Structure 1
Amino acid sequence: MSESKDALPDQEEQVVESGVHNFSKEEEWVKPEDPLLNERLEWFKDQKLGLMMHWGPYSQLGLVESWALSDDDGDWSRNDVDWIDDMEQFKRQYFDLNKTFNPIRFEPEKWAELAADNGFKYFLFTTKHHDGFCMWDTHTTDYRITGPDTPFHTHQYADICRELFDAFRAKGLGISAYFSKADWHTPYYWAPGMERGRHMWRGPSYDPEQYPWMWEKFVEFTHEQIMELLTKYGRIECLWLDAGWVRAGRRGQDIRLGEVVEKARKTQPWLLAADRTVGGPYENIVTPEQTIPDRPMNIPWESCITVGNSFAFGFDDRYKTARQLAHILLEVVAKGGNLALNVGPQPDGRLPGGAVRSIKELGAWLNVYGEGIYGTRICGPYFTGAWAFTCKADTTYAFRLYKNEKEPVRQQTVIPYTGSAARIELVGTGGRLEFNRTDEGLLVELPQAAVTEQAPITHVFRLIANE
């Protein structure tokens, strides 16, 4: 990503490249001192699969969320913006999208039912992205879903965050609230006429150290928004914070995050925080984006990966198959993480049909094999490409991954596992398998019914240590 004259010093690692965030190193993770928070992190690690959603007025364009507003990110974020040369006019048009955002086909209970019926255990929703548009009934700005300029404000489901949080909670899912620490709409962050002039980047348009009074206004504004979400919208399991460049030590962009999180924990003492890419005591969960770590990590982490190609809705998006999604989930879980699977809702308030089909097919697979996913922990040999391993109590689950339906299914297969196994069963059939131990692992023979012409998504073996 090209940098402006006010970019971060060379010795400071970039946290965003083409809109995709790096993730903190395992050694940067700090274990909480509070026993309740550690207990909640174990709960989090049990869940394995969350439904993530990026949704806002930008869905009307089918364009990447927010980033086209940043001139320094225009080289990659404006690839589809070819109808206008004047980017100042584009920014005005983008910010005016609230005036036409009217998702009258929005049905929150159907979304929650889809998630609950197909194996999702928590819900991660964008309450506000970098563009500053609020999907809840905030009293800090009129740039909100319930604002007078937004036609949806008269709808019965106008307070979208409240409707979604209540619907998903009613189905037993935990709530994780995405919140961007940057806000490119408020004049307290992108102030007109300041030193950057018309050329904007992801940071503030002024130097907070030179204008501390203005920065303090932004801090107060941010704290008030966070406290609204964490005191008026029911139980929240995690405050999931984006815009890692807004942090102490980054050109004066300290929003005193610890102050507001600890204040919120007086009301919600179980609250986890994911101050992504920052490290330290308020990044309780590490969050790789559109990637999976190349090795297991024995800390709480969560890969956010899209069902389609992008986080926001795209009119020509293509959606991953159930095989692809299951294999992604298995690699994530075998390496110790959770998968936050992202769907971008349509501007009319419905979920894309292709994404729904993929989710239901993944759910059908989880209905059979989920016992080897939920509540498990990592164990060697973790993930080999062809095999994924998880464990729970005295049982290890070995998943044989078939890359495509044409991959040959062999009746005899060697499970590359050297741990204890007194009994081996094929999950989904209940059948006990004969096996022999070899130098390479456990040689098992599949029942004839499992040797199919078209390879399944997986075969799953239950390795029980003791009879």
Structure 2
Amino acid sequence: MIKKFSGLVVSTIIFMVATVTPSFAQQKPKEKIELQHGAHRTGKRTDADMQTWRTYGLGQFIHWGAYSLLGGKYNGEYYNGAAEWIRVWNKVPNAVYDNLYKQFNPQQYNPTQWAAMAKQMGVKYLTFTTKHHDGFCLWPSKTTSYTIAGTPYKKDIIKPLVEAYTKAGIDVYLYFSVMDWSHPDWRYDLKTREDTIAFDRFKKFTKDQLTELLTLYPETKGLWFDGTWDNSWKKSGAFTDSLEQYLKALRPGLIIGSRLRADDLGNRHNDANGLLMGDYEQGWERKIPKTYADVHGNDWDCVMTIPENGWGYQEKWLGHWKTSNELIEMLAQCVSLGGNLVVNFGPKGDGSFRPEEMTAAKDIGAWMKINSNAIYNCEYAGWEKQDWGYYTKRTGENKYYMIVFNVPVSGSLKVQPPRNWTVTKATLLGDATKNISLEKIDYGGSFIHLPKGFSTGKPFVIELETQKATGTGNEQKAKT
């Protein structure tokens, strides 16, 4: 047979070599790049502090500063951008903006009430802006006069906030912008020797400010960096590496995301070998991964605004703002993919929250009061996603949750566990008396039948109990 078809065999072999060889070339592993200041760890942190971070599920971000006084508006005209960036709008003179802090006197600031609102919402961690790009410090820093001490308010904003949230059982992370428009030694790039000398002074200033924050507020669990994308910082890989190590030595267990570091070649977030530089991925700003594969096995969170790109207070929310149900769905989606969702709030200059934010916090809290078991201490389930919503899994247990947003017209929800596993029980969270029945279908799947006329008008959660299947699992497959 081989002799008879030798020509065919040879031509087939040539075809196979021609078509297969390129894929072999593509699979050749990339040569590792030797780095002094790349990632110092592969895989996730395994310590208790980082494990706590993974259990949070829901966080709160607060952007507050001198920019909150303008509310995204100057001389009757609205700035069509993020309110905290209004200083770069050419219609606001720098001299006007840089003196705004002299009017900062938030008489309605009540950190205990802020913490109570966050607690009711179900928040487990807070990220708070100690200093944004304008350089104005909400603590009485000794490194500059551009601080809360120079305002009519005079008192430290950060200390009572950290204490109130900590007392409420909410962990605090401090936001810090490296970029500083107010500092004479800040540089966007290092093109001359003079630039380098000035920026070396700026790096010392930055280190001193961070030392103050960790010293003054020892309850701090981590630091959230911003303003690190310019060439000046990207060219300072050795310093960013040493700074991270210094901060973690100063505060053992400190959690720092992927925005601080740059490697030897100026890569951020991931080094030249594709390894994460930081304890969790911070690239998911106002966007959520589509699949679990997109997070590459890293810890991550998504920071999300309620209006479109609205971080600091804006007097007028331009465009669409997210409903409570939209935010709850984003929360479910993030947790289902192994991450946390952090919802941003932008208080007014007087320290009060706008009604839309308070409503969102109340609505999310009411939902969390019933359904938080599907959020806290939960992770990626690994089950085939269905159109009705999202799965989460209780960490360390064979307990799964269906977070349902879209009920089919049939009223039946399909679940498809991994091979050799089966669902044994389904219970509606918040009302175990509801009659939810299971119907087994091919390949270990089930239909969950909701009671006739069942409707909640809002997302709901079904808790699933599972066990290893006792049958062979060898359903007769269709012949095709």
- Which interval holds the TM-score relative to the shorter structure? 0.7 to 0.9
Q: Could you tell me how far apart the structure 2 residues matched to 1:384 and 1:228 are? A: 49
Deviation at 1:125, TM superposition (A): 0.3
SS in structure 2 of the partner of residue 220 of structure 1: helix
Query: More deviation in 355-364 or 58-67?
Result: 58-67
Counterpart CA distance in 2 for 1:428 and 1:347 is: 39
- Counterpart of 2:180 in 1: which secondary structure? coil
Q: CA-to-partner distance for each residue in 1:121-168, whole Å, 9 max, x for gaps?
A: 011001111111111111111111122xx2111xxxx21111111110
Larger Rg: 2
Q: Kindly indicate whether the alpha-carbon contact (under 8 Å) linking 1:335 and 1:378 is maintained by their aligned counterparts in 2.
A: yes
Q: 2:450 aligns with which of 435, 446, 462?
A: 446
Asked whether the equivalents of residues 175 and 223 of structure 2 are also in contact (C-alpha less than 8 Å), the reply is: yes
Relative to 1, partners in 2 of residues 1:100 and 1:380: Cα closer, same or farther, differing over 3 Å? same
Offset, 1:413: 2.9
Are residues 1:116 and 2:119 paired? yes
Aligned residue for 1:159, secondary structure, equals coil
Q: Normalising by the residue count of structure 1, what TM-score does the alignment of the two structures yield?
A: 0.78
Map of 1:8-407 to 2, 5 A cutoff? 32=41, 38-63=47-72, 64-70=82-88, 78=89, 84=91, 90-147=93-150, 150-153=151-154, 158-189=155-186, 203=188, 207=191, 209-246=193-230, 250=234, 252-254=235-237, 256-276=239-259, 277-279=268-270, 282-287=277-282, 288-296=284-292, 297=295, 298-309=297-308, 310-317=310-317, 319-381=321-383, 383-384=385-386, 386-392=388-394, 393-402=397-406
Provide the rounded CA distance (Å) in 1 between the counterparts of 2:424 and 2:40: 36
**Structure-1 separation of matches of 2:289 and 2:160:** 34
Partner of 1:420: helix, strand, or coil? strand
Distance 2:45 2:298 in 1: 16
Unpaired runs of 5+ residues, structure 1, are: 1-28, 71-77, 191-202
In structure 2, distance between residues paired with 1:303 and 1:222? 26
Structure 1 residues 228 and 255: alpha-carbon distance in aligned structure 2, compared to 1, 3 A threshold: farther
Compared CA separation, residues 284 and 69, structure 1 to 2 (3 A): same
Question: Shift in Å at residue 414 of structure 1?
Answer: 2.3
Against the structure 1 CA distance between its residues 385 and 352, is the aligned structure 2 distance closer, same or farther, given a 3 Å change threshold? farther
Unaligned runs of 5+ in 2: 1-37, 73-81, 260-267, 469-480
Q: In 2 relative to 1, CA 34–161 (structure 1 residues): closer, same or farther, beyond 3 Å? A: farther
After superposition, the C-alpha distances for 1:307-327 in whole angstroms (9 at most, x for unaligned) are 233111111226432211110
The RMSD of aligned alpha carbons is 2.7
| Residue identity matched to 2:69 | Q
Change (3 A) 1:120 1:292: same
Distance between the aligned counterparts of 1:384 and 1:129, measured in 2?
41
Partner Cα separation in structure 2 for residue 247 and residue 371 of structure 1 = 44
User: What is the rounded CA distance, in whole Å, between the counterparts of 2:185 and 2:54 in structure 1?
Assistant: 37
Quick one: structure 1 residues 119 and 394, their matched pair in 2 at CA, closer, same or farther if it must change by over 3 Å?
same
Deviations 1:60-101 (A, max 9, x none): 11222443444xxxxxxx4xx7xx4xx6xx222121211212
Q: Do the aligned partners of 1:409 and 1:451 also contact (CA within 8 Å) in 2?
A: no
Match of 1:362, as an amino acid? I
Contact 2:269/2:281 (<8 A) preserved: no
Distance 1:242 1:272, change over 3 A: same
**Alignment CA distance shift 1:30-1:386 (3 Å):** farther
- Structure-2 separation of matches of 1:35 and 1:326: 27
**2:225–2:257: 8 Å Cα contact kept in structure 1?**
yes
- SS class of match (2:313): coil
**Pair 398,364 (structure 1): closer, same or farther in 2 beyond 3 Å:** same
- Percent identity among equivalent residues? 27
Deviation at 1:436, TM superposition (A): 1.4
Work out the number of aligned pairs and report it. Answer: 398
How much does 1:235 deviate? 1.9
**Residues 384, 416 of structure 2: 8 Å contact kept:** no
Shift of 1:306: 1.1
Q: Compared with structure 1, are the counterparts of its residues 409 and 451 closer, same or farther at alpha carbon in structure 2 (3 Å cutoff)?
A: farther
1:212 is matched by which residue type in structure 2? T
Matched AA of 1:324? E
